[in-house]
Structure 1
């Protein structure tokens, strides 16, 4: 018999119908293992690059201090590094200055800190937009925790999130002591709603329409963990029908969140109405075995802190009150109207076509 192996003697892969049960589940597991390894490798590469940048910056700072080098030396350093490592990016003159700034900003090892886990572009944003170290630490921690992109990081810094987060007046310590810290961190004041293009004089329905139309931006402003459930959510109590302005679910806290919108001042009756909504939502929407008590958030143009404290103190439901900011009314008046823009467009068109 010939020792030659013919094509017909080779075992071919089994058809999918002959594969053992659970085969594709195993394939999914293997793919997850590979993807996880890729992510870990990328994170390790990023960490090592940040460590290298910091060491370069620290070394240059030390030599500048010892030898009193001028700024022109940085240009030569950049040229030498680019010549030696032509395939590696990041050795521009401006980047070397950022490396020095990083070494000054974080004089101690920081690889294990949140900032050491961020991409280089995020670190540049922190150095360029935050004035104090506590601010940088705050945003670095949030960026790592929530996986912010660089654009989201810039937006949160510009909106002064570190001053607004957890600053809403609430009764969480009294009504939900076991979760009060997490609930307090969930709310902020004021909410930045200038993306709606509205001022505090707009009708409440217009504000609601604008928020729903821009729900992704609104969810970003609310914070991580919020999922949109619905607007004008119906509740039937006895013979009466009620509607919640906005209903959200916070999947990290396992609680529904009812948001009542007011474009004017928050009044005592608004707290009472929201407290009623929370009681009904707890009975009709909430599953006691899965969900914590429903949270109420009254978002108004402004409020009297003394009045709000009395209203919150007598409520048995966890509630908070926050303000919101939009486009300044005077600034909005200074902007051209749609009619003004239309007239300008007509004038330009006539000038281009020679029409009278």
Structure 2
């Protein structure tokens, strides 16, 4: 009989408790260190700005000051005091002079990415969203590169754009899930692309983590080619998810070309089946999203007339959007709102 066999029956529970306590303490230590580091860098930025404001000639500080501080601080304390990092610390204080308004739940690396954004509204959106969805640094970088804020804001009016910048994207109703265009650049499909719907579906499942990030907060994967049977006829939903916040199934069908009226009818049938056969107590009505490369707005309007309000047709693209075009759309919406006053 081994020594492990002679231990009491509740040994495993003790082991699990100790492991849990250790991991919890480790996480708390990490957050405490990170919080202090962010506060320290904010203080360094404050000292630099206050020194500059004492009336010294600009030639003395500016680039020369930061280079001197970088060299001397690196000699004293090692890495972490490059001129670019000191520039970000100074910028951190200038943009957030009240330390209490700057989130300390994000790492300094998060802050560096945020400080690279010139536009206040766009930066604040990514700040809010990073906290709401607990984005890793990699996730933040991906959402920035895919122009998430611009994509969401381009289809909104001034009031909605400002709310998006101040609060982030809040999911309270089915339409809050939608994006004007979903971007699947993470699939790295070369141009010109030649791909089937089945291959596209396979690639999205192979890249499930970035796909879920693109869909947004709250999605959990249920299955691919989810089979349903009606009168001995089998149908398959391309992708099925469950949304934890809205408490409902989300059905997604992928289309390489234009959406036709029968595609919409088929999705409506899927929604009816899930509502009657798959939902359990506490589930809300399912949501259907047809993703296509192109969208005929008039056809969609007529094909969805008096149909399920939980059915949406949205576009996707395989390559990153044109940032400048999106920015112009937002600027135009804001200018039009100002002109109406």
Tell me the equivalent position of 2:146. Answer: 159
Residues 250/291 of structure 1: CA separation in 2 closer, same or farther (3 Å cut): same
Matched residues, number:
300
CA offsets 1:260-287 (integer angstroms, 9 cap, x no match): 112222333322221111111223333x
Tell me the equivalent position of 2:290. Answer: 298
* Distance in 2 between residues matched to 1:119 and 1:282, nearest whole Å: 43
* Distance in 1 between residues matched to 2:71 and 2:194, nearest whole Å: 58
In angstroms, what is the RMSD of aligned CA positions?
3.0
SS in 2 for 1:262: strand
* Distance in 2 between residues matched to 1:243 and 1:80, nearest whole Å: 65
The 8 Å contact of residues 248 and 256 in structure 1, kept in 2 or not, is answered as yes
Match among 91, 94, 103 for residue 93 of structure 2 = 103
Q: In the alignment, does 2:117 pair up with 1:126? A: no
Tell me the equivalent position of 1:192. Answer: 183
The 8 Å contact of residues 226 and 238 in structure 2, kept in 1 or not, is answered as yes
The CA deviation at 1:167 is 8.0
SS in 1 for 2:226: strand
SS in 2 for 1:263: strand
Q: In the alignment, does 2:228 pair up with 1:228? A: no
Match among 79, 88, 95 for residue 89 of structure 1 = 79
SS in 2 for 1:48: helix
SS in 1 for 2:126: helix
Residues 167/251 of structure 1: CA separation in 2 closer, same or farther (3 Å cut): farther
The CA deviation at 1:251 is 3.5
Residues 77/201 of structure 1: CA separation in 2 closer, same or farther (3 Å cut): closer
Q: In the alignment, does 2:134 pair up with 1:147? A: yes
The 8 Å contact of residues 255 and 291 in structure 1, kept in 2 or not, is answered as yes
SS in 2 for 1:140: helix
The CA deviation at 1:142 is 2.2
Tell me the equivalent position of 2:38. Answer: 50
SS in 1 for 2:223: strand
Give 1 or 2 for the bigger CA radius of gyration. 1
SS in 2 for 1:299: strand
Query: Where does the alignment leave 5 or more consecutive residues of structure 2 unmatched?
Result: 157-169, 321-341
The 8 Å contact of residues 297 and 319 in structure 1, kept in 2 or not, is answered as yes
Query: Where does the alignment leave 5 or more consecutive residues of structure 1 unmatched?
Result: 1-13, 170-178, 329-356
Within 5 A, what are the aligned runs for 1:328-347?
Answer: none
Tell me the equivalent position of 1:33. Answer: 21
Tell me the equivalent position of 1:346. Answer: none
